[in-house]
Amino acid sequence: MGSLPPLSSVDRPPSTTPDQPKNANAAIDEPTLLRLFKSQQSHLNFFFHNLDLPQTLRFTQALLLKSGAGGTVFFTGVGKSGFVAHKISQTLVSLGIRSGFLPPVDALHGDIGILADRDVLVLFSKSGNTEELLRLVPCARAKGAFLISVTSTEENLLKRCCDMDVYLPLERELCPFDLAPVTSTAIQMVFGDTVAIALMGARNLSKEAYAANHPAGRIGKTLIFKVKDVMKQQNELPVCREGELIMDQLVELTSKGCGCLLVIDEGYHLIGTFTDGDLRRTLKSSGEGIFKLTVGEMCNRNPRIIGPDAMAVEAMEKMESPPSPVQFLPVIDHQNVLIGIVTLHGLVSAGL
């Protein structure tokens, strides 16, 4: 089977290397970038200076009333406004307010079944003439939901067919063609998240309640986790008696991964601690005499301690406090009985 003949210089494509980007030599300088940021700042200031505060208050009160009466605050939007609406909904959820994002197209194909007459539907649209939202309005109204449009044009179709309208003043988009929605979406985000924080304050959300909604994050762990949630206990504890020889306790000192021995009496009351650092210092000062020394003779009888109901972050602060940081804290009850140990490694592993 023959092979194709090689291309002649006439047949060969103009270039056998990948095409260079059309804007390969494009550049931007610091003054240009600064000018853009200042322009965006000016556009945002226009919004702040012209926002109708009484109208915004009525909007916020409507959300507070509906959510307080067992309703859900739904948001919807198309394109970039949809992304913003979804984000604001998630902000409310994180604050413990029943909320959800309702995609307009999906709503028209069954998802509108989630709406009830106690709910509110907030429709974000820069123009207020978004076709998908206009089609959704009569269907949402038939479900009995309270409808609020949030737009950036003073006269629009969406405003006319909703129960309430909020106007977000827009001077112009930062885009040189005044087309790309970059300022309008920034305004929507600032507006929605600020209202969310107003609702947070009105509902007297505590720091603990907020943390309960963020259990996997550092915020939640800082405010939720107690020492008893992260401490080692029972067979994990490197315990010994004060009369036992130091050299007989080396396995216990190293095998439990705590870097210390917890010295206790017969009633499991804490007497003191002996660390691997203490071991090195004792070996250096005593030499072969270490073979005759007991743990009780060399232990620290005034160690830092903590209770099981203290916050885990408090334990970390106590470990790092002057005069010098430590790597662990024995955990004792109100009768000085040893019940656990919390280590810096354990706290870090828990996400604190």
Q: pLDDT digit string (tens) for 110-162?
A: 999 999 999 999 999 999 999 999 999 999 999 999 999 999 999 999 999 99
Q: Is the pTM of this model over 0.85?
A: no
- pLDDT digit string (tens) for 201-211? 999 988 777 76
Exposed/middle/buried for 320, CB within 10 Å: 0-12, 13-18, 19+? exposed
Name the average pLDDT for the chain: 90
Contact 312, 230 (CB under 8 A): yes
As a whole number of angstroms, the distance between CA 252 and CA 239 comes to 7
Residue 1 pLDDT greater than 60, yes or no: no
**Distances in whole angstroms, Cα of residue 280 to Cα of each of 260, 289, 290:** 12, 13, 10
Give yes or no for a cis peptide into 323 (omega within 30° of 0): yes
HSE-CB of 244 using CA atoms within 13 angstroms: 18
Contact 279, 253 (CB under 8 A): yes
HSE-CB of 149 using CA atoms within 13 angstroms: 26
Q: Which of 123, 40, 42 is nearest to 75 (CA)?
A: 123
- The predicted pLDDT at position 7 comes to 47
Interior angle at CA 159, CA 87 and CA 143, nearest 5: 70
Residue 177 pLDDT greater than 70, yes or no: yes
3-class state of residue 56 by DSSP: helix
16 falls in which pLDDT band (50, 70, 90)? very low
Exposed/middle/buried for 98, CB within 10 Å: 0-12, 13-18, 19+? middle
- The predicted pLDDT at position 349 comes to 82
